[in-house]
């Protein structure tokens, strides 16, 4: 198991030496390495068992640092960065040669974001390079939102876990590209309704069976080991059983022990539901249940991103 602590100087030294360090962000915990060091980046893919065709996101301390990695910064991208960075927004920009092809899976664009987490911003500001940092979990599994989640899955593969507490957003960043037009490639912590007043109309292109344009586009992803049955409350009532577990939005289901159910938000708050989603999937994956029922939430705002994660978690399991 890895050591968990708050020593930014130690994390910095380990990253300078080419090691892997788990870092907190407002979305999920990331598995970080020097984004400009191909050998260090390769260790990310090895630790996660991540296919090389799935690109990584590069984390920067500022818009100014982002401009050192991109050959151009479209006006719509600049407007979004000024409004929402630091924050759960990744921009796909044409990359400079300084960014290794391994980071971008050979694509000519690189995903860049500035995370909204004080500890990690301090770390980024102290480093002479940006950090490649996909979620700190085995590829395809549920993303981690606490240091303990990282330790359970990758504790023997990271040099240090920076303790930043529980992630405040709880699901990954929204990814927006700009060629040929502003397009959302992954739903995430910023809803379309919030982005479009700044970006203008956004196309949505979410899925790819292989060779994705951006991280998190594969049809099967974010999945626990147990089978997930996804549906509305009415649909799920047909599948209730004493041996089932359930992730519900506001109210528990009849026919399943209350101890095997997790309410995402008793007040019906979608942001709270997003924050608790991945922890709920992990908890029920370890619980003594045979399968997991998952209730779709209202498909509006960040609810779209919650439903997107649930659909991918359930894909290929049914």
Tens of pLDDT, residue by residue over 26-46, are 999 999 999 999 999 999 999
Band of residue 259 on the pLDDT scale cut at 50, 70, 90: very high
Residue 4's beta-bridge partner residues? 161
Are 25 and 159 within one domain? Answer: yes
Are 162 and 281 within one domain? Answer: no
146 to 37, 39, 66, 164: CA distances (angstroms) = 27, 27, 27, 8
Tens of pLDDT, residue by residue over 67-93, are 999 999 999 999 999 999 999 999 999
Task: Please report whether residue 190 resides in a domain.
Answer: no
Beta-carbon count within 10 A of 221 CB: 23
**High-pLDDT (> 90) share of the chain, %:** 89
CA neighbor of 15 nearest in space, from 170, 172, 162, 230: 162
Say how many CA atoms lie within 13 Å of 226 toward its Cβ.
23
Task: Please report whether residue 184 resides in a domain.
Answer: no
Provide the 8-state DSSP code for 238: G
Task: Please report whether residue 245 resides in a domain.
Answer: yes
**CATH assignment of the domain containing 50:** 3.90.870.10
Q: Which two tokens stand for residue 231?
A: 């549906």
Lowest-pLDDT range of 47-51, 92-96, 210-214, 258-262:
210-214
Residue-level pLDDT at 93: 97
* Full DSSP string of 255-310: TS-GGGEEES-TT--HHHHHHHHHHHHHHHHHSS-SEEEEEPPPSSTTHHHHHHHH
Q: Are strands 131-132 and 109-113 parallel, antiparallel or unpaired?
A: unpaired
Are 152 and 240 within one domain? Answer: no
Q: State the helix-helix crossing angle for 303-314 and 270-286, rounded to 10 degrees.
A: 20
Q: Given a cut of 50, is residue 318 above it in pLDDT?
A: no
CA neighbor of 221 nearest in space, from 137, 141, 304, 317: 141
Band of residue 120 on the pLDDT scale cut at 50, 70, 90: very high
Range of the domain at 150: 4-73+97-170
Are 115 and 249 within one domain? Answer: no
Task: Please report whether residue 149 resides in a domain.
Answer: yes
Are 255 and 159 within one domain? Answer: no
Tens of pLDDT, residue by residue over 43-57, are 999 999 999 888 999
Round the average pLDDT of the chain to a whole number and report it: 94
Comparison of pLDDT for 223 and 196, the residue scoring more: 196
Residues in the chain: 318
Residue-level pLDDT at 140: 87
Q: State the total domains in the chain.
A: 2
pTM for this model (two decimals) = 0.93
């Amino acid at each position: 198991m890895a050591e968990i602590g708050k020593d930014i100087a130690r994390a910095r030294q380990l990253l300078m030496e080419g090691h892997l360090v788990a870092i907190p962000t407002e979305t999920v915990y990331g598995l970080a390495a020097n984004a400009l060091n191909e050998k260090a980046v390769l260790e990310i893919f090895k630790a996660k068992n991540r296919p090389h065709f799935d690109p990584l996101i590069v984390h920067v301390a500022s818009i100014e640092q982002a401009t050192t990695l991109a050959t151009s910064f479209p006006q719509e991208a600049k407007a979004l960065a000024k409004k929402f960075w630091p924050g759960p927004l990744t921009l796909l920009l044409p990359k400079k040669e300084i960014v290794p092809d391994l980071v971008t899976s050979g694509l000519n664009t690189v995903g860049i974001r500035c995370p909204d987490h004080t500890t990690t911003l301090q770390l980024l500001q102290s480093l002479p390079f940006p950090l490649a940092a996909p979620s700190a979990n085995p590829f395809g599994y549920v993303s981690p939102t606490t240091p303990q989640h990282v330790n359970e899955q990758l504790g023997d593969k990271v040099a240090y876990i920076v303790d930043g507490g529980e992630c405040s957003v709880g699901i990954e960043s929204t990814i927006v590209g700009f060629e040929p037009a502003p397009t959302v490639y992954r739903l995430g912590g910023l809803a379309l309704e919030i982005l479009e007043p700044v970006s203008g109309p956004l196309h949505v292109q979410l899925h790819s069976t292989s060779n994705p344009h951006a991280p998190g586009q594969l049809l099967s992803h974010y999945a626990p080991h147990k089978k997930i049955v996804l549906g509305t409350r009415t649909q799920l009532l047909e599948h209730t059983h004493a041996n089932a577990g359930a992730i519900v939005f506001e109210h528990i289901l009849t026919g399943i022990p209350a101890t095997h159910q997790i309410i995402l938000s008793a007040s019906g708050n979608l942001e709270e539901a997003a924050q608790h989603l991945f922890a709920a999937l992990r908890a029920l994956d370890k619980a003594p249940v045979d399968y997991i029922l998952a209730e779709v939430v209202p498909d509006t705002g960040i609810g779209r991103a919650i439903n997107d994660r649930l659909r991918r978690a359930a894909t290929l399991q049914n």
